[in-house]
Amino acid sequence: MIQILLVDDHPSVGEGTKSMIEQENDMKATVVTSSMEALEVLKNQIFDVLMFDLNMPVINGLELTRRVIAINSDTPILVYTGYDISAHYNILVEARVSGFISKTASREQLITAIRCALRGEAVIPISLLHQLRRNEARVDASEKEESVKRISIDEKEQMILQEVARGKSNREIADILLMSQRTVEYNLTRIFGKLNVRSRSEAIFQAKRLGVIPHEDFI
């Protein structure tokens, strides 16, 4: 029997999804309504597939994925959401999710995604697949020095810089990018070091001068 854990803070959605899954003779779903409850259940029970809602209070689906991966990296995790994830896609891939399912998906699409995850495969929309073509932005900072300083800004740092340039606070950036405020602060420290700056305004200026983020992101 394929055991599936579904974490969704909306009980009616969870039960409806459970009903669709269990129409398959070889599948059984367990539904919990919070990430904390899921972490407790995972201490005592082994599942074949995990399905996490993305937007949940206290611990969202992204943070729950990171915590579970740290404990057990073998179980496939599917993000199950009714929201557009394109803005968070690269961060989710980096967190090592195994696939994505929309809450508006048909039962056939739902079951296909689960079975693909079990086979180590993933079904993703073509629009999201295209985002895989770019993993890192690298820029050369030409200074009036004898050597050229090489700066490497990864995808997550780029996204944080873009929100800083739009005037967002660390708390707002954390909410937008589905990460903790501490993670935002840690990455900003790294960005400051890479750009050799000491403040957000200096980071914006350097990023604009070096072309790390598009000019239209500046306020």
| Final residue before a domain boundary, out of 84, 105, 135 | 135
Q: Based on the domain organization, do 116 and 159 belong to the same domain?
A: no
**pLDDT at residue 208, rounded to an integer:** 77
The mean pLDDT value for 3-18 works out to 93
Whether residues 21 and 94 fall in one domain? yes
Is residue 122 located within the same domain as residue 30? yes
CATH of the domain at 91: 3.40.50.2300
Is residue 98 located within the same domain as residue 181? no
Element (H, E) at 120: none
- Identify the CA nearest to 90 among candidates 52, 136, 57, 121: 136
Q: What is the pLDDT of residues 60-114, one digit of tens each?
A: 888 898 889 888 778 999 988 877 666 667 777 777 888 888 888 899 999 999 9
State the pLDDT at residue 142. 46
Residue 7 β-bridge partners: 32, 52
Tokens (6 digits) for 118:
């079990």
Q: Which domain holds residue 181?
A: 155-210
- Which pLDDT does position 73 carry in this prediction? 73
Kindly tell me if the per-residue pLDDT of 133 is higher than 90: no
Q: Is a pLDDT exceeding 90 seen at residue 196?
A: no
Same domain, 99 and 179: no
Does the pLDDT at position 12 exceed 80? yes
Our count of domains for the chain comes to 2
Average pLDDT for residues 44-72, to the nearest whole number? 88
Query: Can you list the alpha helix ranges (DSSP code H) found in 75-215?
Result: 89-94, 107-118, 126-129, 155-165, 170-177, 181-195, 200-210
Single pTM value for the model: 0.61
Verify that 14 and 65 share a domain, yes or no: yes
Question: How far apart, in whole angstroms, are the C-alpha atoms of residue 31 and residue 35?
Answer: 11
75 & 128 share domain: yes
**What is the residue whose two structure tokens read 């604009």?**
208
User: Is residue 11, in this structure, part of any structural domain at all?
Assistant: yes
